[in-house]
Structure 1
Amino acid sequence: MEYNIGIKDLFNTLKKRWLLILLFTLGAGLISAGISYYVLTPAYQASTQILVNQKKTDDQALNITQVQTNVELINTYSVIIKSPTILEEVIKELDLKSSVKELNQKITVNSQANSQVLSLTVEDTNADNATKIANTLSDTFQKEIKSIMNVDNVTVLSKATLKENSNPVKPNISRNIVFALAIGLMLGIGLSFLREYMDNTIKDERDVEKILELPVLTSIQRVSEK
């Protein structure tokens, strides 16, 4: 037996199950807010910028070949920055309790195409620690690269600064709540239609018409005891 479900039927289902949909939506939002505020550990970021550019002497002019060489060194420097040689010096300098592997996971190195600038981003659960690690890392790299590569072409463009009332970058509470509300809404709607589909009880004459495919000629109204 086939049933033709129209837009009106869908709307009626949503109208009838509105409380269920609302409970799922609000419940998902509250759970997400609780987890974001009280379970997830906040993380802060600090960034510095490093310029890779050979220092000019009096008889040396900047040329395109030199710039291209510096750009090609960016990939190599990105690896060296996160190498144990550099990270061990940072750990020693700041007396960190982290291992080289743990510190490595906190650091992200980015560079734009054909750019001589490296961006170092450090993520930590403490804003002050993130700032200190980022600055110490860039300073240590600038110092150590001279002996590692036998070059002097690294300059720290900008230092990381600790801002008052720094906001964590993780978790993004607003985004988490909105995402959870959307998921709760979809689950509520899905469950509403599922319950409606699984409900085989006959409630009124319209259900009789659908099942028997015959018109209802008359019906008996409920009579009050009074």
Structure 2
Amino acid sequence: MRASAAAPAEPKKTVWVWTESRQVMTAAVERGWSTFLFGSKDLGKDWSSTARINALFIDGPGIFDEENQKVAVISQVSSPGELDLVQPDNAEAENIVIDFRGGWQVIRAENIVAAFQGCKGNVLAVSTNTTEAQVFLEALEQGLDGVVLKVDDMDDIIKLKDYFDRRNEAKSQLPLTKATVTKVEVVGMGDRVCVDLCSIMRPGEGLLVCWIVCQRNVSCSF
């Protein structure tokens, strides 16, 4: 088997921070996250005078930078029906922030990610803790483009950075490359394996193992 080309690198995830805690702000800046959301312009200007941050201000459904340029829109979603109304490709800004009111658990994370796959804009979900952030970043093996971490506890900043460090370390230990099969040899019996492809296969796709295709539940063309 001859490697032909390296697999494309995963797009870098975006992290914005929404907080009123100066400790959280300091912890985030120390870990390389410098974009912050503010509901109050006074707080944003105060922090900008003491730290190098990218301050963004929420004004109605829009999010603006310090020069009053719209950089994102924010949509509040509390039901699957409201999620269907969000159209990132028609948004007035490059970024769209989804704020799930009343608990996002009413909508499966996989459905949330699937709803925005392939859209042109960057979609970020508001997360109130590290666990929620990880779910949005991992669902369907791809996750959303990023998260807005809305917290007032610096431990959440530390935990999310540790998560990214572990994730990057795991990827560096097992790089994936495209390869071409140049020769096949019989080497004897192998071990039995179980492959769970429920989250990454679509109707019409199958798995070819030892020239026999087994598919369950959903009919396909094989």
TM-score range (shorter-chain normalised) is: under 0.3
TM-score relative to the length of structure 1? 0.24
Question: If each structure's strand is expressed as a fraction of its own residues, which one has the higher value?
Answer: 2
- For the pair shown, which has the larger CA radius of gyration, 1 or 2? 1
Q: Which has the bigger relative contact order, CA under 8 A and spacing at least 6?
A: 1
Question: If each structure's helix is expressed as a fraction of its own residues, which one has the higher value?
Answer: 1
